[in-house]
């Protein structure tokens, strides 16, 4: 984490230290949250529509914070005694401090964006690169205008590689965070239907994701999924001065891997005569693994280092993780949903053998824009009654998924709910010995609550 004195922090920010006598006060790490502040942290209070971190400065002082940042015109209460630095805007100061710290570090940054696969690719890279280098990664989902600066500021001085996830909701988001992270390698995993409400089309999504190259170092490398239809069609329209490498299963890519038939416990692929195994579910993870292998090759890892790293990865919470319960299993993919990732999840369900009964519990896919009804309907239409026994849909938008499913399912095998408790009651009635329950929906639908409700079910 960042360790500097207040004189250095003020210089990095162009801020005004309250008293020059405090210039040698040391800070270790930063925090924007009074609930998790640590001793000797620099507290950076943020202000939003429904919160004001400036109200908690005294609490942070009591918990051991060394100092804090504050707006130039904000009146500080008399009961606060720790030093402070005046800045124009605390959020911008957080971002400026991270950018300045990044420039001082001798670290190679790998920036990752994409509609799907960011977190899994990040985790794969972390496990693989950690076999050779001191590596840090984005923790959790800290991938926005606040999370990326906090990730950069969490890096230790001796970190050799940082794997940083960059997310987006609108144009300009990744432009900002890329110019903070300043990646040496920039990756786009794929282009899906997420955030269509703001970005309008897959071409718009690609435009937003391509902002990642704005902060890419002059001698950096841009890597993208060459099998992705949108990127394949549009990538040549973008001017990228740095080296470009495409990866995928198709032979026209710069870096090609070959699919090997998977088992329920892992996916496998080959490259240059070597086979690589990843203990994750879903064919889409071949692409995540291929990207990881490509970067490992660029950074000089040998085959054994890559293989030993890949097998260490585990599913992130609520992301294609298998939960074994009393006589039945839950495939928990409840963290997020969009048409691309949902179809991948359904394909994974089809591959999983040994179940007498398969149930899908699907919630709304949010932020899909003007075509949200149509996109839900099309996914429902694609659900195959030969693979799935029962479909339970939750939410207003999922009604269109339900209507699509009714083209192939009888009404005693497909159901729509607007009340989660009613859905849970129906789901419990369908679960028998050797059942697989697949749960997926956008984060805002809180589909994880459904999983929690059946954890204690005894058959």
Q: Is 36 annotated as a binding residue?
A: no
Beta strand 243-248 with 221-225 is parallel
Residues in the chain: 459
Q: Is 115 annotated as a binding residue?
A: yes
Listed in sequence order, the residues at least 6 apart from 335 whose beta carbon sits closer than 8 Å to its beta carbon are: 316, 317, 318, 319, 443
- Helices marked H in 211-269 — which ranges? 229-234
- Helices marked H in 51-162 — which ranges? 57-62, 90-104, 118-129, 147-153
Q: Is 369 annotated as a binding residue?
A: no
Give 440's strand partners.
Answer: 333, 362
Place of tokens 């004189």: 7
**Side-chain half-sphere exposure of 113, counting CA atoms within 13 A:** 28
Q: Which helix (H) or strand (E) holds 202?
A: helix 202-209
Place of tokens 């230790």: 156
Phi, psi angles (nearest 5°) of residue 404: -65, -40
Q: Is 151 annotated as a binding residue?
A: no
Q: Is 85:65 a contact under the CB 8 Å cutoff?
A: no
Q: Is 347:283 a contact under the CB 8 Å cutoff?
A: yes
How far apart are the C-alpha atoms of 281 and 341, rounded to whole Å?
12
What is the dihedral sign for C-alpha 201, 204, 206, 209?
negative
Q: Is 119 annotated as a binding residue?
A: yes
Q: Binding site membership for ATP: which residues?
A: 114-120
Q: Binding site membership: which residues?
A: 114-120
């Amino acid at each position: 984490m960042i360790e500097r004195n207040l004189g250095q922090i003020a210089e990095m920010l162009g801020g005004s230290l309250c008293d020059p006598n405090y210039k040698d006060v040391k800070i270790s790490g930063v925090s924007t949250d009074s609930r998790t502040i640590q001793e000797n942290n620099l507290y950076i209070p943020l202000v939003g529509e429904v919160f004001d971190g400036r109200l908690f400065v005294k609490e942070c002082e009591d918990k051991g914070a060394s100092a804090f940042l504050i707006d130039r015109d904000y009146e500080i209460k008399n009961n606060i005694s720790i030093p402070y630095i005046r800045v124009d805007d605390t959020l911008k100061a957080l971002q400026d401090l991270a950018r300045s710290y990044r420039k001082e570090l001798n670290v190679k940054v790998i920036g990752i964006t994409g509609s799907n696969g960011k977190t899994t690719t990040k985790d794969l890279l972390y496990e693989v690169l950690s076999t050779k280098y001191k590596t840090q990664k984005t923790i959790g989902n800290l991938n926005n205008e606040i999370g990326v600066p906090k990730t950069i500021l969490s890096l230790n001085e001796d970190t050799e590689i940082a794997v940083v996830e960059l997310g987006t909701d609108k144009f300009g988001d990744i432009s900002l965070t890329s110019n903070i992270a300043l990646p040496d390698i920039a990756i786009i995993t794929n282009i899906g239907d997420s955030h269509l409400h703001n970005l309008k089309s897959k071409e718009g999504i690609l435009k937003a994701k391509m902002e990642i190259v704005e902060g890419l170092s002059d001698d950096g490398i841009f890597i993208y999924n060459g099998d992705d239809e949108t990127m394949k069609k549009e990538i040549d329209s973008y001017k990228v001065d740095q080296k470009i490498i495409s990866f995928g299963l198709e032979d026209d890519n710069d870096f090609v891997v070959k699919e090997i038939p998977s088992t329920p416990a892992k996916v496998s692929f080959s490259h240059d005569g070597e086979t690589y195994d990843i203990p994750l579910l879903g064919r889409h993870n071949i692409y995540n693994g291929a990207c990881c292998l490509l970067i490992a090759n660029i950074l000089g890892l040998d085959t054994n280092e890559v293989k030993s790293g890949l097998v260490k990865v585990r599913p992130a919470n609520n992301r294609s993780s298998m939960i074994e319960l009393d006589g039945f299993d839950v495939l928990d993919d409840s963290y997020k949903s969009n048409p691309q990732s949902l179809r991948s999840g359904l394909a994974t369900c089809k591959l999983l053998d040994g179940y007498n009964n398969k149930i899908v519990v699907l919630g709304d896919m949010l932020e899909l824009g003007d075509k949200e009804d149509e996109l839900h309907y099309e996914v429902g239409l694609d659900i195959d009654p030969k693979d799935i026994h029962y479909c339970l849909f939750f939410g207003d938008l999922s009604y269109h998924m339900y209507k699509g499913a009714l083209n192939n399912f009888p009404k005693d095998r497909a159901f729509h709910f607007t009340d989660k408790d009613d859905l849970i009651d129906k789901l419990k009635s369908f679960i028998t010995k050797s059942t697989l329950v697949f749960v997926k929906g956008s984060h805002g639908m809180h589909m994880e609550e459904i999983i929690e409700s059946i954890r204690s079910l005894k058959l």
